[in-house]
Amino acid sequence: MITVYLVRHGQTFFNYFHKIQGRCDSPLTPLGIAQAEATRDSLKEKHVHFDYAFSSSSERASDTLEIITEHKMPFKRDKGLKEFAFGRYEAHDESLNPKPPYNDFFKQFGGESQVEVEERMDKTIRRLLKDIPNGKNVLIVSHGGALMNFLRKALNSLHPLGKLHYHNCGIVVLNYDGKNFTLKSVANPADDVSDSYNDNL
């Protein structure tokens, strides 16, 4: 059994200004950095050690991973872990987003369909885990939309986390037996710092 830690990146400037952020990128805010540090500290307190690490090729994800691992661990960046592509909606105000599920909405604007994101993420994560020995811990840092779509497919559920939310730097832990994924736990260790942080940029 492999244990997979799926982490959403920290808050970015586009998050702060409520901009649609998929394939386009923006750096972590000071709060985003603090969120990644809080997640790092939570994992250290639980004595979690990672044997392998992967991130989306977007800067916001790789920066989050480097903070969590204290810049001490080699990792692989993979474009297959990137966020949902929103086409011409990229960098526009979030108020323009339709209500989920997005289905094929963004295809007409040069983006991806929801099924395409699910299949891309599932294929990528299974490929990354293929040759990892049993008993290892794997860190994967990606994006909220991409990770939720992966979880829907991997866990065969429209609401894979139930009523729980997947906040910035949230952690979803899965067990993987080489074929099937099972949900082990969900945590949002950065929530305390997010609630108390003075986010005036």
List, in sequence order, every beta strand (DSSP E) within the chain: 2-8, 52-56, 76-78, 137-142, 171-176, 181-187
What is the per-residue pLDDT across 50-77, written as a single tens digit (0 to 9) for each?
Answer: 999 999 999 999 999 999 999 999 999 9
- Give the sheet arrangement for strand 52-56, strand by strand: 76-78, 52-56, 137-142, 2-8, 171-176, 181-187
Locate the domains of the chain by residue range.
Answer: 2-196
Judge whether 17 is annotated as a binding position. no
What is the per-residue pLDDT across 174-194, written as a single tens digit (0 to 9) for each?
Answer: 999 999 999 999 999 999 887
Judge whether 108 is annotated as a binding position. no
When the pLDDT of each residue in the chain is averaged and rounded to a whole number, the result is 96
What is the per-residue pLDDT across 119-171, written as a single tens digit (0 to 9) for each?
Answer: 999 999 999 999 999 999 999 999 999 999 999 999 999 999 998 889 999 99
Judge whether 11 is annotated as a binding position. yes
**Is residue 152 within a helix (H) or strand (E), and if so which, with residue range?**
helix 144-154
- Name the one residue in this structure whose structure tokens are 């929801």: 114
Options 49, 66, 71, 83, the catalytic residue: 83
Judge whether 200 is annotated as a binding position. no
Catalytic annotation present for 83:
yes
Catalytic annotation present for 9:
yes
* Residues ≥6 apart with Cβ < 8 Å to 196: none
CATH class of segment(s) 2-196 = alpha beta
Options 9, 90, 118, 143, the catalytic residue: 9
- Name the one residue in this structure whose structure tokens are 């970015």: 12
One-letter identity of residue 104: D
